[in-house]
Amino acid sequence: MKLRFKLAVLGIISFLLLSNNAYSDQKLPFVESVVIFNTVCAKCHEAQCSGRMSFDDAYESSKNHIIRHYGEASDKQWLRKELFTILNYMKVKCAYYPMESALPPKRVWEHDILNKMVTLLERNYFIPLGPFSEGKYRIDLALERDTKVTIHLVSEDFDMAIDDCFLSKNMAVKIPFSITEPGNYYFRMYPQEPVRITRLTVITE
Taken in order of first residue, the domains within the chain and their CATH numbers are 1-99 (no CATH), 105-204 (2.60.120.380)
CA distance 133 to 148: 29
pLDDT in tens, 28-41: 678 888 898 888 87
Q: Which residues contact 199 (CB under 8 A, 6 or more apart)?
A: 108, 109, 110, 111, 114, 140, 141, 142
Q: Is the overall model pTM greater than 0.75, yes or no?
A: yes
Q: Which residue has the higher pLDDT, 43 or 58?
A: 43
Model confidence at 13, pLDDT cuts 50, 70, 90, reads very low
